[in-house]
Structure 1
Amino acid sequence: MTSNEKLYFNGDIITLEDELYTEAVLVKDNKIYKVGKKEDLQKCACENVELIDLQGKTLIPSFIDSHSHFSGYASSFSQVDITEAASFADVSDAIKRFIEKNNVPPGKWIQANGYDQNIFEEKAHPSKAILDEASPNNPIVAKHKSGHMGVLNSLGIKELGITMDTPNPEGGVIEKKDGEVTGYLEENAFVKYVQEIPMVSNEEFMGNLIKAQNAYASYGITTVQEGFVVDLLADIFQYLIHSKLLKIDLIGFLDIGNADKLKEKFANCLQKYDNHLKIGGYKTFLDGSPQGRTAWMRTPYIDDPNYFGYGTQKDEEVEQKLERALKDKMQILVHCNGDAASQQYINQYKIAKEKTGITEDIRPVIVHAQFLAEDQLDDVKALNMIPSFFVGHVYHWGDIHIKNFGIERASKISSAKSAQDKGIVYTFHQDAPVIEPDMLETIWCAVNRITKKGVLLGDDEKVTPLDALKAVTKNAAYQYFEEDIKGTIKEGKLADLAILDKNPLKVDPMDIKDIKVLETIKEGETIYKK
């Protein structure tokens, strides 16, 4: 007979409560039943309780993803991986290999994902001519690693009906040079046309969703986010609910521009779980990406005194969306990388609160908050905004930020310590599929703040391993209004746990990224084991 009780002991058990460590944890059914001394817990356990000897390993609350794109990460399994491409030739070769390996027929769309022009020999975005050479008989889109821009080949341009007469959408760019469409799309133009590219078959996409779920679990994550739910995903997510395929919690945020239609489709899971899926609120975007040079800044990019990046929406539009979130009592996540975008959010949220007179706290989130500045933190604190920092930028693009903004400004990206000193609750995320949802690498980035070239970027913005761990567990639960059921090891909370081979609070800080997730447990059941 299998026991529904498990007793964990003989390891470092980090509770993240006031008493940081405990000797043992008793799990009953799907919850943490008791925390304390092993001897005491055995007395209140059933006779056939399963004894789990940690053998010196570390048990923690499982990681909580505070911002990513679950479906986008799933889609990446059917796309050409060009994250390591160092030249146009590498991009072309990767596409050719993908076509040959997968027997891609002429006419079928090919999506290549993850290039970064900053590391290319050519220091430029790939051209449509390069993509035409890779495959003239397939429509192709090559997507920038940031997810904010990309390039179409000639057939792709034709398939999507883009011509010299096609206007730029507000907050986006369709590049045209020398009397022709170049294929390069930026921000709202990129988002618009990528959504028009046909999806893979339902069968393939559902398989990819399961692969994505398993991948998140392998990183110790039991709660993930769908950061922008569009109409295209509604039926797929309904299928996930009814098929009961989800074994991790998935929290979606609706495109607020299409909220009425989407809310109807998700009426059964608005702010409550239905077979592990919940709609947590709304989402909108106010700017782009700093490494892609589209983040909206208050001071110009260092190489051009007249270029500040740009916003994607007018003040009135932003204010109306924030009013709606307040009136609907729905949390809102707002993408802001540059400090001008953050300022627009702060200003319009103040106005929306004043106009509506609503005092209820919806815990508005500043997604990415890369250049959120010191002078903005008092307002962030007063408005109970939650910055969710993409702190992995320090390692992955810190050197690019130094080039674009200078060392002083670049050193203040992901200003977690400054926020902490103001008493602001913050979280960390990876924005998958932009980078892998590797929480231990993220903790390492926040603690050490080292760039790829080995530059120490912002020593005064380092946080301790304990505070970084809280940002991806306890604080992330708070961001989701789930602090009563997740984020720490405490009696009555869900048994969402992860077992690590080493203790991130005790190893050398530079070794944190090398720690391995050995097991991931969702509501008492193992969903991943190394």
Structure 2
Amino acid sequence: MNQTVYYNGKIITMNGEQIVEAILVEDGRIREVGSNNEILNRKSPEAEVINLEGKTMLPAFIDPHSHFTSVASMLDKVDLSGCTSMEEIRTRLKEFRKARNLADDAFLVGTGYDHNDLPGYRHPTAADLDDPELPNPIIIAHASGHMGTANTRMLEKLGITKDTPDPEGGVYGRLADGTPNGYMEENAFIHVAVAMPVPTEEEIAVTYAEAQKVYASHGIATVQDGMTSAENAVRLERFGQSEACYLDIVGYADLRTATGAISDDPYTYHGHYRTGGYKLFLDGSPQGRTAWMSEPYLGGEPGYCGYPIYQDDQVCELIRVAISREKQLLTHCNGDAASEQLLRCYTKVKEELGSTAELRPVMVHCQTVRPDQLDRMAPLGMIGSFFVVHTYYWGDVHIRNFGERRGKMISPMRAAIDRGVVYTMHQDTPVVPPDMLLTIWAAVNRISKNGTEMGADQRISVWEALRGVTINAAYQYFEEKEKGSIEPGKRADLVILDRNPLAVPAMELKNIKVLETIKDGRAIYRAE
């Protein structure tokens, strides 16, 4: 028997509004909660006793949607986040090439640029990346992961020419004569990105181990791989059963290409990995102007509304696979037209099949979901997982793209809660870091990077925000009996913070620090 007592703290259990002073952990699970005296008097003589000294403890945060394998794959790529000029992009590529001593034929891959931070809000082109000091084949990915740019040498390597047609659900940028200019969006980019060279299995395992540290440092003990390929499902299964893995990882298989990568019992962990269901994309990125909208974007081509990835008959057929196999489905919907397509098709297929199974489908992102659509989500048992930190990172961009009315209504969490929709909150990492406290701050304050108020009527309370990354997130994973609150019998997945989120001024929430993350009773991260 291995016991640990945590006492003299502010322990927010997320079991109702219960706050206690102390807990007793035994063999990786919570045995008791209560007052200091109650818990200290019930411990064994050999128990480790830890004085929280007034610090705050919560259930460890649960990541409702991100891309674990993508985070791992980006650890050996050029970080272009925050670049404000084409010259800065080239400089970072050159510095990385020099530091890694890359040969001229080695692929050079950058990630995280945002055209909204560049002059004229313009995406880079091949001409911007072509440089005598950068002889490598180069491809760089937008922060959203929905678009990117290749230099001329990479276009040649990929065989993309004037005669290459645009794929369904994707576009190649072109010069006036039809020659590709290097820019690619949606399926045009995604098809290229998945064709990049793959590291060795040993190298991939190392990056998985390193990626865990990123999540654990933000108080997260359960993570998602939100678009798992058949190959990555095998790798995650192997990694999850290795001694190197300490986070719980839940994989959602690509519904188009990896329908067989789902366990017959998706709720059972094999070590620290399990499958959760399927993932489907229906549209693109609102900040990249590829999300599918029912009303046109402002500026640019008149009447342009973005575009869908699939037609209704294709979406219905894919949804039929998930529902007939009684598997949970996570569906990427940024634009309200994509949200409408999901609701329309999911309802149709569910009724056709006469399905009564509790599958807890998830609408992922919900950036521009409308109140009338939220009204239809709750009766379907459909969860809304909100990328609410968009209000901070791209709030001003949304106002520019959609106008004040639609722009300030992004991530309408208050409307969802008032309609009884179960909600969670995510960061879509690696799109943005998995900073749960910044996400909580964003949901509570709704203020953009430039200080613009992003719809005060959609603000939620700190308590509601905490639910979105603890007990509600556990419910989304069908793990509410194991995680998400501090109750006897549940896993000892815990996070210690330097301050109490319920007691600090709302604007201070993002400055709270994660001091320690605990998984199954064992510390997996401690702040230096």
Normalising TM by the smaller chain, what interval?
Answer: over 0.9
Output the CA distance in 2 between the equivalents of 1:258 and 1:103: 36
1:528 corresponds to: 525
Output the CA distance in 2 between the equivalents of 1:414 and 1:253: 23
1:382 corresponds to: 379
Q: Is the 8 A contact 2:172 2:182 kept in 1?
A: yes
2:439 corresponds to: 442
1:425 corresponds to: 422
Measured after TM superposition, the shift of residue 182 of structure 1 is 1.2
1:328 matched to 2:308? no
2:165 corresponds to: 167
1:59 matched to 2:63? no
1:486 to 483, 487, 490: 483
2:123 to 125, 132, 142: 125
Aligned counterparts, 1:481-520, within 5 A: 481-520=478-517
40-49 or 435-444, larger mean C-alpha shift? 40-49
Measured after TM superposition, the shift of residue 389 of structure 1 is 0.5
Output the CA distance in 2 between the equivalents of 1:375 and 1:295: 19
1:294 matched to 2:290? yes
Unaligned runs of 5+ in 2: none
SS of 1:258 mapped into structure 2: coil
203-212 or 224-233, larger mean C-alpha shift? 203-212
1:41 corresponds to: 39
1:285 corresponds to: 281
Q: Which amino acid aligns with 2:348?
A: I
Q: Which amino acid aligns with 1:255?
A: D
2:150 corresponds to: 152
Q: C-alpha offsets along residues 457-515 of structure 1, whole Å, 9 cap, x if unaligned?
A: 10000001111011011110010000000000011110000000000110001001000
Cα pair distance change 1:175/1:376, threshold 3 Å: same
Measured after TM superposition, the shift of residue 160 of structure 1 is 1.6
Output the CA distance in 1 between the equivalents of 2:112 and 2:393: 13
Output the CA distance in 2 between the equivalents of 1:18 and 1:409: 34
33-42 or 224-233, larger mean C-alpha shift? 33-42
Q: Is the 8 A contact 2:241 2:272 kept in 1?
A: no
Q: C-alpha offsets along residues 131-186 of structure 1, whole Å, 9 cap, x if unaligned?
A: 12165521111100010000011111122222222222211112232231111111
Q: Which amino acid aligns with 1:278?
A: R
Cα pair distance change 1:250/1:352, threshold 3 Å: same
SS of 1:112 mapped into structure 2: strand
Cα pair distance change 1:473/1:524, threshold 3 Å: same
1:367 matched to 2:364? yes
Measured after TM superposition, the shift of residue 74 of structure 1 is 1.2
Percentage identity across paired residues of the two chains: 46
Measured after TM superposition, the shift of residue 19 of structure 1 is 4.0
Measured after TM superposition, the shift of residue 50 of structure 1 is 1.2
1:353 corresponds to: 350
Cα pair distance change 1:357/1:134, threshold 3 Å: farther
SS of 1:91 mapped into structure 2: helix
Measured after TM superposition, the shift of residue 130 of structure 1 is 1.8
Output the CA distance in 2 between the equivalents of 1:69 and 1:456: 29
SS of 1:74 mapped into structure 2: helix
Q: Is the 8 A contact 2:387 2:411 kept in 1?
A: yes
Cα pair distance change 1:484/1:123, threshold 3 Å: same
Output the CA distance in 1 between the equivalents of 2:130 and 2:261: 37
Measured after TM superposition, the shift of residue 235 of structure 1 is 3.5
Output the CA distance in 2 between the equivalents of 1:53 and 1:104: 50
2:403 to 402, 406, 414: 406
Aligned counterparts, 1:180-329, within 5 A: 180-263=179-262, 270-303=266-299, 304-329=301-326
Cα pair distance change 1:448/1:207, threshold 3 Å: same
Output the CA distance in 1 between the equivalents of 2:324 and 2:116: 43
1:24 corresponds to: 22
Q: C-alpha offsets along residues 374-404 of structure 1, whole Å, 9 cap, x if unaligned?
A: 1111101111111100011000000000100
Q: C-alpha offsets along residues 56-115 of structure 1, whole Å, 9 cap, x if unaligned?
A: 100000000000000111122111011011011010011000000110111111110011
Measured after TM superposition, the shift of residue 189 of structure 1 is 1.3
Cα pair distance change 1:135/1:186, threshold 3 Å: farther
Output the CA distance in 1 between the equivalents of 2:350 and 2:133: 52
Normalised by the length of structure 2, the TM-score is: 0.97
Q: Which amino acid aligns with 2:393?
A: H
Q: Which amino acid aligns with 2:310?
A: Q
514-523 or 12-21, larger mean C-alpha shift? 12-21
Output the CA distance in 2 between the equivalents of 1:55 and 1:333: 41
Output the CA distance in 2 between the equivalents of 1:149 and 1:372: 22
Cα pair distance change 1:222/1:242, threshold 3 Å: closer
Q: C-alpha offsets along residues 271-290 of structure 1, whole Å, 9 cap, x if unaligned?
A: 31001001000001000000
Q: Is the 8 A contact 1:140 1:152 kept in 2?
A: yes
Normalised by the length of structure 1, the TM-score is: 0.97
Output the CA distance in 2 between the equivalents of 1:247 and 1:346: 37
Output the CA distance in 2 between the equivalents of 1:241 and 1:474: 23
1:341 corresponds to: 338
Q: Which amino acid aligns with 1:469?
A: L
Output the CA distance in 2 between the equivalents of 1:19 and 1:119: 42
Q: Is the 8 A contact 1:88 1:122 kept in 2?
A: no
SS of 2:121 mapped into structure 1: coil
Output the CA distance in 1 between the equivalents of 2:178 and 2:346: 42
Q: Is the 8 A contact 1:92 1:134 kept in 2?
A: no
Output the CA distance in 1 between the equivalents of 2:388 and 2:286: 13
SS of 2:258 mapped into structure 1: helix
Q: Which amino acid aligns with 1:42?
A: L
Q: Which amino acid aligns with 2:350?
A: K
Q: Which amino acid aligns with 2:67?
A: H
SS of 2:7 mapped into structure 1: strand
Unaligned runs of 5+ in 1: none
Q: Is the 8 A contact 1:7 1:49 kept in 2?
A: yes
Q: Is the 8 A contact 1:87 1:122 kept in 2?
A: no
1:80 to 78, 81, 88: 78
Calculate the aligned-residue CA RMSD, in Å: 1.4
